[in-house]
């Protein structure tokens, strides 16, 4: 029995299987995808094991990570239900790692028709930076898995970056920050670069300096626990350019735009995973 299988080799399946192959022996890692060539290429790149079907993946590993879009998840789970039942009948307990946005742990028990004694489910939300080991994964605190299973899963994926465990009532709020940040920061960084291009900088330098500026600021912010507004105040000298920039952003509703973006993303998160 292999340690972990990834069902779906898209953005997250690639990022997380890459992390797993850095953390444990790639011979312990299985990948599969509906597009055979995609999973074969991934397995070849990582030196891990390719299997052709989702059933083989379920049968072949202890930890199972379904990296398919939430709207396809029910179909995928329906397809592997007999494989889960056969494993259950052999006394093998599987651990599902759920990364599907908005999908509750109960969904896996309902669709697969298994009890908590027969199946463990760890619900997490990783982000795309896992690919380079700089990701951050939120884990939902539940009684559907043991401490040993959580520790082992974190060990397998330790090369993906950091972890934070949150109670169910805070899980979504935490997930929204880590999963939408890459998108919001990418838009923000490109807007900074656009401003610099407007001011006469060439695009490659504008991109580089916008990202370096953000990176330096983040490193500084993470180095202590000062209130974030203090950093703003320290940069805003009286009548200086930064204060002019702050006034412009405030006039155009910068803060409320960001707050509302986080709010609507939160509201959407819980509805997309509703499986019919
Ligand atoms: N992207 C993110 O930033 C992010 C962050 C956190 C969590 N997630 C969660 O991660 C999950 C995967 O998202 P993603 O962005 O990685 O999606 P993705 O890039 O579309 O990858 C999904 C992969 O699964 C394949 N697939 C579809 N149906 C399948 C089936 N029946 N059997 C096996 N493989 C199948 C897809 O093939 P085709 O391309 O041919 O359809 C695709 O390669 C989602 O549930 C999402 O909520 C994503």
Å from CA of 122 to ligand 1 middle = 18
Q: Which atom of ligand 1 is nearest to the CA of 127?
A: 5
Å from CA of 99 to ligand 1 middle = 10
CA atoms within 13 A on the CB side of 178: 26
Instruction: Report yes or no: 39 and 242 within 8 Å, Cβ to Cβ.
Output: no
Å from CA of 159 to ligand 1 middle = 21
- Rounded distance, CA 88 to CA 109, Å? 13
Closest Cα to atom 25, ligand 1: which residue?
A: 8
Work out the pLDDT band at 101, boundaries 50, 70, 90: confident
The token pair at 85 is: 């039942």
pTM, rounded to two decimals: 0.88
Å from CA of 123 to ligand 1 middle = 16
Does 68 sit in the ligand 1 pocket, CB within 6 Å? yes
Work out the pLDDT band at 131, boundaries 50, 70, 90: confident
Å from CA of 10 to ligand 1 middle = 5
- Rounded distance, CA 78 to CA 93, Å? 18
**pLDDT digit string, tens, across residues 5-24:** 999 999 999 999 999 999 99
Q: Is the pLDDT of residue 275 over 60?
A: no
Does 129 sit in the ligand 1 pocket, CB within 6 Å? no
Mean pLDDT for 173-195 is: 94
**What domains lie within the chain, and their CATH numbers?**
2-166 (3.40.50.720), 174-272 (1.10.3730.10)
Does 128 sit in the ligand 1 pocket, CB within 6 Å? yes
Any idea how long the chain is?
A: 276
Q: What is the pLDDT of residue 273?
A: 60
**pLDDT digit string, tens, across residues 58-89:** 999 999 999 999 889 999 999 999 999 999 99
Q: Which atom of ligand 1 is nearest to the CA of 273?
A: 47
């Amino acid at each position: 029995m292999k340690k972990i299988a990834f069902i779906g080799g898209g953005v997250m399946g690639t990022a997380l299987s890459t992390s797993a192959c850095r953390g444990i022996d790639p011979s312990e890692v299985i990948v599969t995808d509906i597009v055979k060539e995609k999973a074969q290429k991934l397995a070849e790149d990582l030196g891990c094991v390719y299997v052709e079907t989702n059933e083989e993946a379920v049968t072949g590993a202890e930890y199972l990570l379904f990296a398919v879009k939430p709207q396809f998840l029910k179909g995928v789970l329906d397809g592997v239900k007999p494989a889960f039942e056969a494993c259950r009948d052999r006394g093998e307990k599987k651990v599902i790692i759920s990364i599907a946005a908005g999908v509750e742990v109960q969904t896996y028990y309902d669709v697969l028709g298994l009890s908590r004694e027969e199946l463990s489910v760890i619900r997490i939300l990783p982000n795309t930076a896992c690919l380079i080991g700089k990701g951050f994964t939120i884990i939902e605190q539940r009684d559907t898995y043991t401490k040993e299973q959580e520790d082992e899963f974190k060990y397998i994926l330790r090369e993906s970056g950091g972890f934070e465990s949150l109670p169910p009532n805070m899980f979504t709020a935490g997930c929204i920050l880590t999963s939408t940040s890459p998108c919001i920061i990418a838009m923000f960084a490109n807007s900074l670069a656009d401003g610099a291009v407007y001011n006469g900088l060439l695009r490659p330098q504008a991109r580089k300096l916008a990202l370096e500026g953000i990176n330096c600021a983040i490193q500084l912010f993470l180095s202590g626990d000062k209130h974030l507004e203090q950093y703003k105040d320290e940069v805003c000298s009286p009548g200086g350019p930064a204060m002019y920039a702050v006034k412009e952003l405030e006039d155009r509703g910068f803060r409320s735009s960001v707050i509302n973006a986080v709010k609507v993303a939160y509201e959407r998160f819980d509805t997309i995973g509703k499986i019919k």
